[in-house]
């Protein structure tokens, strides 16, 4: 295949970027998209030009590092990660636009590499459980209903790639945050911090400059792991419960106190 790529080049976080055009000839249709970029970089290096900076690690669809906007779509034409996209998804002679994730909370470091540290800070704000140290507990010590285990596992497949943010017109990271809330909130081990978790993670999400969710659904359309919008409903239910009832289990709400009315002593 012979293709042309138009790639976002930006020397550093403060420089003005622009699209640069490169012809890439003799590409195999069996190459992954990242291998095509490797070939282009090899050619750029050999002729003394600065190679294009882009992120990748596992190249197996599991680490979430390889986010690129390809022809205006996060991860490109297939609902998968960029590393799992192959050149056979394009046609000989195509011109392909390649840009970094676009979101205020993901500043560009160089070319196609963005800083996704905001996701780490959201996790630090609550995406964990407290577990006693010591020897491993018996595997059946804490029974988990099969349905909950399956749904928690599905939510845990979120790889933190950030495609949901890049696709959202609001630049919201609610799908990512909701996947973590759902994963831990469905398991017994996640219950002690369930409500402080949702408050902390959503506060950090907002502090990082991510936008709010308005149920547009672009996030789920590009999510390579199929995290559903329903997870955001679950996050919202936990958040409302935490903020209004201090985390008592929905819908068993704590009594609403009226202005000026003394609370009945608990007997
Ligand atoms: S929810 Fe999906 S798109 Fe968003 S970070 Fe997780 S895997 Fe990526
Ligand atoms: S490089 Fe790890 S998911 Fe693509």
pLDDT at 138: 85
- Whether the pTM exceeds 0.95: the reply is no
CA 44/CA 131 separation, integer angstroms: 50
Residue 222 C-alpha to ligand 1 middle, in angstroms? Answer: 8
Our mutation pick for probing the ligand 1 site, out of 73, 74, 175, 201, counting the most ligand atoms within 8 A of Cβ, is: 175
Q: Are the CB atoms for 165 and 209 separated by under 8 Å?
A: no
Please tell me the number of Cα atoms within 13 Å of 190 on its side-chain side: 21
Residue-by-residue pLDDT tens, the chain, 267 positions? 999 999 999 999 999 999 999 999 999 999 999 999 999 999 999 999 999 999 999 999 999 999 999 999 999 999 999 999 999 999 999 999 999 999 999 999 999 999 999 999 999 999 999 887 788 888 788 889 999 999 999 999 999 999 999 999 999 999 999 999 999 999 999 999 999 999 999 999 999 999 999 999 999 999 999 999 999 999 999 999 999 877 655 443 333 334 444 444 433
Burial class (CB in 10 A: 0-12, 13-18, 19+), 88: exposed
Of 172, 175, 163, 6, the C-alpha closest to 79 is 163
Structure tokens that stand for 216 in this block: 């547009």
- Ligand 1 neighbours, Cβ below 6 Å, are 158-164, 175-176, 179, 223-225, 227
pLDDT at 249: 53
Residues ≥6 apart with Cβ < 8 Å to 212: 170, 172, 174, 206
Q: Label the pairing between strands 95-99 and 73-74.
A: unpaired
Say how many C-beta atoms besides its own lie within 10 A of residue 169's C-beta.
9
CA 91/CA 242 separation, integer angstroms: 51
pLDDT at 131: 80
Q: Are the CB atoms for 54 and 33 separated by under 8 Å?
A: no
pLDDT at 139: 79
């Amino acid at each position: 295949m012979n293709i042309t790529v138009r790639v976002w080049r930006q020397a550093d976080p403060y420089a003005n970027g622009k699209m640069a055009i490169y012809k890439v000839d003799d590409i195999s249709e069996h190459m992954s998209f990242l291998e095509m970029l490797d070939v282009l970089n090899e050619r750029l290096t050999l002729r003394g030009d600065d190679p294009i900076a882009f992120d990748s690690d596992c190249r197996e669809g599991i680490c979430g590092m390889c986010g690129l906007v390809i022809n205006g779509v996060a991860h490109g034409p297939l609902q998968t990660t960029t590393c799992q996209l192959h050149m056979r998804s394009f046609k000989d002679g195509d011109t392909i636009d390649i840009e970094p994730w676009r979101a205020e909370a993901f500043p560009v470091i160089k070319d196609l590499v963005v800083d996704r540290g905001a996701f780490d800070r959201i996790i630090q704000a609550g995406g964990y459980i407290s577990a006693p140290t010591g020897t491993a507990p018996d595997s059946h010590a804490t029974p988990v209903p099969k349905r909950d285990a399956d749904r928690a596992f599905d939510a845990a497949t979120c790889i933190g790639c950030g495609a949901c943010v890049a696709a959202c017109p609001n630049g919201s990271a609610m799908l990512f945050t909701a996947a973590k809330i759902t994963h831990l909130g469905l398991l017994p081990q996640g219950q002690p911090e369930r409500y402080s978790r949702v408050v902390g993670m959503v506060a950090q999400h907002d502090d990082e400059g991510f936008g709010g969710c308005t149920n547009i659904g672009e996030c789920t359309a590009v999510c390579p792991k199929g995290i559903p919008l329903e997870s955001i409903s679950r996050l919202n239910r936990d958040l409302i419960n935490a903020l209004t009832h201090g985390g008592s289990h929905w819908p068993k709400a704590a009594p609403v106190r009226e202005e000026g009315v003394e609370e009945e002593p608990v007997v």
